[in-house]
Amino acid sequence: MGKISNRAWFKPKTFGFGASPASWQGWLATAIFVVVFIAATLSLRGLGQWIADGVLLAGFVALVCAKTDGEWRWRGL
């Protein structure tokens, strides 16, 4: 069996607030999020679209926070 890596999927941004993908898992999670978000936005209408988009966005932000190496804080010039 393969070894499970505890390496972070995302790293804090150098400037600003948030995180950026730092591994293939982070890039894959980001790509899947974008595809599912666009599909939900195009296929749903009205309140259902807003609810689905909100749930997807909240879930992705929670995943990124959990898989980021370091804290999220504002990093200015």
Q: Which of the two residues, 77 and 66, has the higher pLDDT score?
A: 66
DSSP lists the bridge partners of residue 20 as: 11
Kindly report, residue by residue over 1-55, the tens digit of the pLDDT: 455 557 899 999 888 888 999 999 999 999 999 999 999 999 999 999 999 999 9
Q: Is the pTM of this model over 0.95?
A: no
Q: HEC profile for the chain?
A: CCCCCCCCCEEECCCECCEEECCHHHHHHHHHHHHHHHHHHHHCCCHHHHHHHHHHHHHHHHHHHHCECCCCCCECC
